Structure formats: structure tokens, C-alpha cells
Amino acid sequence: MARFTIKRYLPRSLYGRAALILLVPIVTIQLVVSFAFIQRLYEDVTAQMTQNISVELRLLLDVVETAPDVAAASRRVGDTAEALDMQVTFPGAEVAERRSFTDLSGRVIRNTLEQQFANLRTVDLVSRDKTVLASIETSKGILEVAFSRRRVAATNPHQLLVLMLFTAILMTIISYLFLRNQLRPIRRLARAAEAFGKGRNEPYYPGGASEVRSAGAAFLNMRARIERQIEQRTLMLSGVSHDLRTPLTRLKLGLAMQQQTEDTQDLIGDVDEMERLIEAFLDFAKADAQEELERCDPVALVKDLVANAQRSGKQVELSDALPEPLSMKLRPLSVQRAVENLINNAVRYGTKAHVDVAILETALRISVEDNGPGIPEAQREQAVKAFSRLDASRNQNAGSGVGLGLAIAADVARSHGGTLRLGDSTTLGGLKAELVLPR
């Protein structure tokens, strides 16, 4: 459960994840080194330097203790302190205990002096800049000693941290530039694959690391195989459908010249149905044809299709809340063919159809609803397959059809990188078909 919670906050892009992989070790190393330097090396050095100066302080205490009186002790300790580059006041006053809360080395100085001198009274690290003031009790009075803090603590310890930070930033920039060059071929491959999924052939040449080159070459081979398969399928369906037109025309002409009886009328009806099947096959073949993308207004295209359907006597109504004109790249003939099939299906299995257009944030949605019996949810996936006929759940009085209407619309949607969604109509009660095309 925790893994999914963490995964939610991880970056989604390849750049973000690569940057995270790059930065996490660098930041971790910086933190570990900084902690080790401050908490271990810096404290140990400060303690060692404080122990060294404790020897000199002990010498001053010995001078005071061995002197016959206070005056002699003051004179002797003053001369000794001058030689040791220290300032002493004897007898002196007890200094106030002062140390900054953020002064890490000051804590080490105070603790080390306390361990070395049982008679240490106070340590002042704040009153005088870069100076340590210590008061030590002796048998003749309090010895007040002042010495430079540089003698017990390393100077400018932040320089190492600044150098580490600068080096980390520099190496991060260099790594980012190198990483960007390595990720660029992957992004080019992703763009080419996305464009091919939307029916566009974007120029692409494999580059980058050997693994990326292998993936790019595999993509190019796959794209070539798919294009050959689509071309062969289109040529086959077009050829078969075209070749069937000639004998059907002869049959129709021969039947027309015969005496008109009930049998000949039935045969003519069969020939007409075969012609409709051939037209459907041709439409299905054209759905895979590589029509060039061009900018057009899908709203105007849908308006024209609805107007044509109304002129042919079909009960098709257009939504009153249409969006403003929109310019987007489409294959206009393919989209027109898909919407026509959806409208024809709607009026075939119902009595009227309702058409709507909606512009979403990243897609265009064309909806066609009817008042027919609809399609059960369990059969909708089967309904968009080619030559699938679900007449048992549809209107038996509307004719059998060939089962290519929804398949053509689905192919057109896929060629644009979109999808065809089937659902229930909330306004008319029948089927609702949504052609969703990415913008």
C-alpha cells in the first residue's frame, strides 16, 4: 500500500525520473559527507586543538599555584601568558557563561575544557569576537584567560561545504546536459510512434545508444509491415469489389430485359443488395486508405452531413448548442464517411437521430444518438468488429445490413489516434455512438 502512495508522487515524465535518479544520490552523498564532516571530523579536530591548548592553560595554573603570593603569581603568570600569546587577568572576575545555540564547535570546546580542568568555572564564547574567555578557580583566586578561538577551532569550516555544494551543482549541470542528449533519441522515437498511432508518418532515423537504436529499427520495421498490410488489404478489397461490379451490371441488365414477374423482381432485389454490399466493402477499404491530413472545420463538416441527411428525408436533428468553428488536422473524407455510417445506422435501426459536436480540452467528440433498441453492453465490443451483425438485438424490420458501419467508424477513429465509444442514449433511449478524435 505504501508503494502505491509513494508512486503517486513520483514524476511521470522520463526527464523527471532521470533527474530524480541523478539528484537523489548526489543529495544523499552531500548529506552524508556533511554530517560526517561536522559531527565527526570537525568535532574531533576541535577537541584535539582544545586539548593542545589545555597544556598551556595547565602551565599557567602551575605558575599561579607555585608562586609564594598573589602579587608574585600575577607577575609570573603575566609574563608566561605573554610568551604563550594569551591574555590573563589575575586575580580576575568570573566571566558569564555564554555560547550560541548554533555554535557546534563551542559546545565541544566547553566540554573538552571541562574534562581537562575540574576547577573550570565558566567559558564565554560570545562577548569578544573570535575570542575564548575562560575563568578557572585556583587556590589564590580566579584566573581569567583570553585566547584566540582560531587556536581551538578550525577556521572557515564552511569552505569545504561550499566547495562541495559548488561541485555538486556543476556536476549536476554536466550530467543533465549529457542526460538530455541521451534522452533526446527516446523522445524522438516516442513522437514518431505517437504520430504513427494517429495515422501520420513522421520522419524518424534511429539514433542514440545501441538499445535505443535497436528499438528504433524495430519500430521502423513494424511500421513498414503495418503499412504493407494495410496497403495489401485495401488493394484486395478494392480489387474484389471492383471486379464484382461488371458481372453484377450484366445480371442487372439481363434481368431488366426479362419479363417482369415476381421472381425477376426478387432477383433484382438480390442484385441491388449485392451492390449495396459491394459499396460497403469499398467504403471499408477506403477507411484504410492513407488520405493526407489537412486542416478543416469539423463543425461545418457535421452540419453539411446533417443537412444532406435531412434533404434525403431522414429524421436527423442537429444539436442547438454547437461550438464555435474549429480548425484542426483531419482526414475530412474519412471523417465524413464515418459520421455518415453512424447516421445511417441510427436511422436504420431507429426512427430518428440526434447529432451533437463537443470540443473537449484535448479531443473532439461527435455524438450520434438514436431511439432504436440499442446494443447490450456485453455485445458492444463485438459490434465494432468488421462483418459483425447483431440483428437479434436490433430492429429486424430495418434490413440486415453488412455489419461494416461501426467497423468503418472505428477504423477512422483509430487512424486519427482516437476511439469509437458506444453507450446508452439519455435523450432518445437508444444507442449513443461517440467518435472521439484527438486535437
Among residues 88, 95, 93, the alpha carbon closest in space to that of 59 is found at 88
Residue 24 pLDDT class (50, 70, 90 cuts): confident
Q: Which domains, ranges and CATH numbers included, belong to the chain? A: 2-155 (no CATH), 186-290 (1.10.287.130), 291-438 (3.30.565.10)
Residue 283 has pLDDT above 50, yes or no: yes
Residue 326 pLDDT class (50, 70, 90 cuts): confident
Average pLDDT, the chain: 80
Among residues 284, 270, 245, 308, the alpha carbon closest in space to that of 400 is found at 270
Nine cell digits for residue 320: 442547438
Nine cell digits for residue 139: 587556590
CA–CA distance from 432 to each of 318, 376, 403, 437 (Å)?
14, 12, 17, 16
With pLDDT > 70 as the criterion, what percentage of the chain qualifies? 86
Q: Write the secondary structure of 372-429 as one string of H (helix), E (strand) and C (coil).
A: CCCCCHHHHHHHCCCCCCCHHHCCHHHCCCCCCHHHHHHHHHHHCCCEEEEEECCCCC
d(CA 158, CA 337): 73
* Type of residue numbered 106: G
Half-sphere exposure of 373 (CA within 13 A, CB side): 12
Only one residue has cell 569576537, namely 129
Position 158 scores a pLDDT of 62
Q: How far, in whole angstroms, is CA 267 from its chain's centroid?
A: 61
Nine cell digits for residue 287: 477507411
Q: What mean pLDDT do residues 108-112 have?
A: 86
Residue 411 pLDDT class (50, 70, 90 cuts): confident
Q: What mean pLDDT do residues 57-65 have?
A: 89
Long-range contacts of 337-340 (CB under 8 A, 24+ apart): 337/283, 337/286, 337/287, 337/408, 337/412, 338/287, 338/408, 338/409, 338/412, 338/413, 338/435, 339/301, 339/302, 339/305, 339/366, 339/368, 339/409, 339/435, 340/305
Residue 241 pLDDT class (50, 70, 90 cuts): low
Residue 267 pLDDT class (50, 70, 90 cuts): confident
Residue 135 has pLDDT above 60, yes or no: yes
Kindly report the length of the chain: 439
Position 396 scores a pLDDT of 39
d(CA 243, CA 168): 73
pTM of the model: 0.51
Between 265 and 218, residue with greater pLDDT: 218
Residue 403 pLDDT class (50, 70, 90 cuts): low
Position 367 scores a pLDDT of 92
Residue 296 has pLDDT above 80, yes or no: yes
Q: For the chain, percent helix, then strand, then coil, each to nearest 5? A: 60, 15, 25
d(CA 171, CA 33): 16
Between 405 and 389, residue with greater pLDDT: 405
